Structure 1
Amino acid sequence: MTASERRRLKKLAHAHTVPYQQVVRVRIVLDAAHGYSNARIALRQRVHLDTVRRWRGRYADQGIDGLKDRPRSGRPPRFTLVQRAEVTALACQLPAETGMPLSRWSSADLAAEVVGRGIAEAMSASSVRRILAADVLKPWQHTSWIFIRDPGFATKAARVLDLYQRLWNGRPLAGNEYVISSDEKTSIQARCRCHPTLPPGRSRMMRVNHDYDRGGALAYLAAYDVHQARVSGRCSPKTGIVPFMDLVEQVMSQEPYASARRVFWVVDNGSSHRGKAAADRLAARFPNAVMVHTPVHASWLNQIEIFFSIVQRKVVTPNDFTALDQVEDRLIAFERRYNETARPFRWKFTPADLEDLLARIERHEQNEHHFQQPTGCDHQPAALPATM
């Protein structure tokens, strides 16, 4: 054994990522290099004497490569390709279409259905999961999606996306023009836990008691400057036109918005700021303010929702507040902290991405022309992911 081979074997013998069986084989060879007898090596490594002979012989014939497992054919497949294809086809059907009173398939349900239909004499739930894993199918999971109902979806969405790129009607915004994204985060509760929350400890995560007393709820209204990454917010017992206009008053009475040429307010279609009446009300109170609505069911276009998700993760969850005053103080304090270090969001969904999305939806509608119109819907369906 050369010095380089010895170093390589010692490295393998102490590696944490090498399979244990291979480590034992390496140690057998190293013991042999030290002059131990086969019987002594078997005793030291706690293996059979024949095992020592086998791996010493393989190392002598093939070197380090001889310590690896030889290729094996494996157990013959229990299910034919046709059976596997039938399982996949069954998983791609809704249970109701097959007469099963289920909302979605589970592995156990599919296995029972496969046996019931005579596709296979026996099949376990784990076998079903392995078959479906080859096609990345998980029928026991689901995701939601919605139809585009707004006839002006493309125009409204493009207008909002242009504002994020500092464009309005095809022209760049001036230096004294600003874009505000605004909305309300409703029903933030004060849950007073019946036992104090325990901080993290050694080998223990933070513990929050499940039982709590309700201390009421409030709404958090916020306005986010898209390009300055600055948030202005306030709390209110409820949402509505008056609380929203109070937020607008709070923002528009401060610089640089009070003397700005134009301030664009991007809002969704909530009752506090819905339709032309809300836009006229805003313009009447502040002539330099322009309200821009997102399309219906497209709140994902409103960047304030990203900030609200941060608030949910870092402030509200887990919910452990003694009273609503504590909730309000925490929200306002976090707002100040956020403004000290915040940077604009890296918004990646551009008008070009919007055109691509609409083109894919159009192709989907053409391919699904046989789709049955749901009862009570008077609009042409167009698939739009709700998680975008």
Structure 2
Amino acid sequence: MANSPAPALDLREGDAVELDRLLRSTSTPAGVVRRARIVTLAAEGMANSHISVVVGVSVPTVRKWRERYLHDGMVGLLDDDRPGRPRHIDHSDIVSATLMPPPKKYGVTHWSSRLLAGHLGVGNATIARAWREYGVQPWRSGTFRFSTDPELVAKVTDVVGLYLEPPTNAIVLCIDEKSQIQALDRTAPMLPMQPGQIERRTHDYKRHGTTTLFAALDIATGQVTAAVKPRHRHQEFLAFLRQIDRAYGGQELHLVMDNYATHKKAEVRDWLAEHPNMHVHFTPTSGSWLNLVEVWFGIIDRQAIRRGVFTSVNDLNAKIRAFINGWNGRKHPFVWTKTADEILKKAQPKTN
């Protein structure tokens, strides 16, 4: 008969406990709670019409979830508009999806954890765990550049050879200039570091001009010979070479420098030709990272320039000189450890 009451619903083993857990949990979605109540009341023998009144749904809805449970069990209650618990997916599959570019419909260049979670139908916390496990960081990017210098192998071997086995009774100097150093003055005094509070400074600043720092690093001792100048033309570089010559009194010098045009000017070449005690070794094109003075430039930038406050270019120059004097009082050798072969394996593009 169409209006005859439905028989009591037989629950599968263990489902009574699971239904009770869903009904008691404060994190169970409302839709899942309704379905769990329907199945629970049906298992107690309540008629469909009474269940519809108690739960606040239509009789066809009651029938739907009774039938869904009969066919699919507890999984059937979670397989409607809202999936309830996110489906399980292997971390390796998540990483594989991460390494593929997002579909054009998303209009983004890389995945975020929430976007990929929605795409795969899992929780964003699962995405984050997979990324941590495999060391994948889609939000980060970097730059790289392969040297196209036809003399790459020869130059790397030459410079690294100087670092690892410097010539007897000779000094190896790494030379370069750090240009366009800005004399930045904050618009308000800095707030000094306090217990429980880091040093703070305003985000805006006043510009007072720029300076150029020329430096020559003696890798055996860490001694730095330097000069600050308003520009970085070949005239200033030539003056700096003369300063080095005076500082080392005609000793045998091996100068490591990059391929900046200033370093190869005819006037510079002619002057070096007149000083046979100076031997120049050029780093490869796009290989200035091979010059150890770049490491020292990073040190002075972090320790004296980046967080400094300078009221004028003269103030900036004075503080740079003060740092150099302090550095030479506590200097240390710069030790190179990589062989030329180890470097060349990474410096050249791989071909398949």
TM-score with structure 1 setting the length: 0.64
Partner of 1:130: 129
Amino acid at match of 1:87: I
Partner Cα separation in structure 2 for residue 101 and residue 243 of structure 1: 50
**8 Å CA contact 2:219, 2:335 repeated in 1:** no
Rg larger for? 2
The Cα offsets for residues 220-275 of structure 1, whole Å up to 9 and x where unpaired, read as: 11111111321111111121111111111111012xx3322x31110011222148
1:214 offset after TM fit, Å? Answer: 0.9
Amino acid at match of 2:168: A
**8 Å CA contact 1:282, 1:291 repeated in 2:** no
Partner of 1:323: 312
Equivalent position SS for 2:209: strand
With over 3 angstroms needed to count, the CA separation of the structure-2 counterparts of 1:278 and 1:130, relative to structure 1, is farther
Residues 1:239 and 2:232 are matched in the alignment: yes
Equivalent position SS for 1:134: helix
Partner Cα separation in structure 2 for residue 79 and residue 187 of structure 1: 55
Equivalent position SS for 1:189: strand
Identity percentage over the alignment? Answer: 25
Residues 1:182 and 2:190 are matched in the alignment: no
1:155 offset after TM fit, Å? Answer: 0.9
1:211 offset after TM fit, Å? Answer: 2.3
Partner Cα separation in structure 2 for residue 190 and residue 225 of structure 1: 27
Q: Specify which of 250, 255, 276 is matched with residue 259 of structure 1.
A: 250
Q: Specify which of 116, 119, 122 is matched with residue 113 of structure 1.
A: 119
The 5 Å alignment of 1:204-243 reads 204-243=197-236
Partner of 2:87: 79
Q: Specify which of 264, 272, 293 is matched with residue 282 of structure 2.
A: 293
1:166 offset after TM fit, Å? Answer: 3.2
Amino acid at match of 1:136: G
Partner Cα separation in structure 2 for residue 227 and residue 316 of structure 1: 25
1:134 offset after TM fit, Å? Answer: 2.8
Amino acid at match of 1:183: D
Partner of 2:294: 305
Q: Specify which of 98, 101, 107 is matched with residue 107 of structure 2.
A: 101
With over 3 angstroms needed to count, the CA separation of the structure-2 counterparts of 1:192 and 1:357, relative to structure 1, is closer
Partner of 2:66: none
Q: Which runs of 4+ in 1 moved over 6 A?
A: none
1:326 offset after TM fit, Å? Answer: 0.9
Q: Specify which of 187, 191, 196 is matched with residue 184 of structure 2.
A: 191
Partner of 1:153: 152
**8 Å CA contact 2:304, 2:323 repeated in 1:** yes
**8 Å CA contact 1:282, 1:289 repeated in 2:** no
What is the number of residues matched between the two proteins? 268
**8 Å CA contact 1:186, 1:218 repeated in 2:** yes
**8 Å CA contact 1:228, 1:344 repeated in 2:** yes
Partner Cα separation in structure 1 for residue 205 and residue 137 of structure 2: 36
**8 Å CA contact 2:220, 2:333 repeated in 1:** yes
Equivalent position SS for 1:145: coil
With over 3 angstroms needed to count, the CA separation of the structure-2 counterparts of 1:249 and 1:155, relative to structure 1, is same
The 5 Å alignment of 1:2-41 reads none
**8 Å CA contact 2:192, 2:199 repeated in 1:** yes
1:160 offset after TM fit, Å? Answer: 0.3
With over 3 angstroms needed to count, the CA separation of the structure-2 counterparts of 1:124 and 1:231, relative to structure 1, is same
Alignment RMSD: 2.2
Partner Cα separation in structure 1 for residue 258 and residue 105 of structure 2: 41
1:81 offset after TM fit, Å? Answer: 4.2
**8 Å CA contact 2:186, 2:202 repeated in 1:** yes
TM-score with structure 2 setting the length: 0.70
**Which stretches in structure 1 are left out of the alignment for 5+ residues?**
1-76, 115-119, 168-172, 367-388
With over 3 angstroms needed to count, the CA separation of the structure-2 counterparts of 1:111 and 1:131, relative to structure 1, is same
**Which stretches in structure 2 are left out of the alignment for 5+ residues?**
1-84
Equivalent position SS for 2:351: helix
Partner Cα separation in structure 2 for residue 232 and residue 208 of structure 1: 32
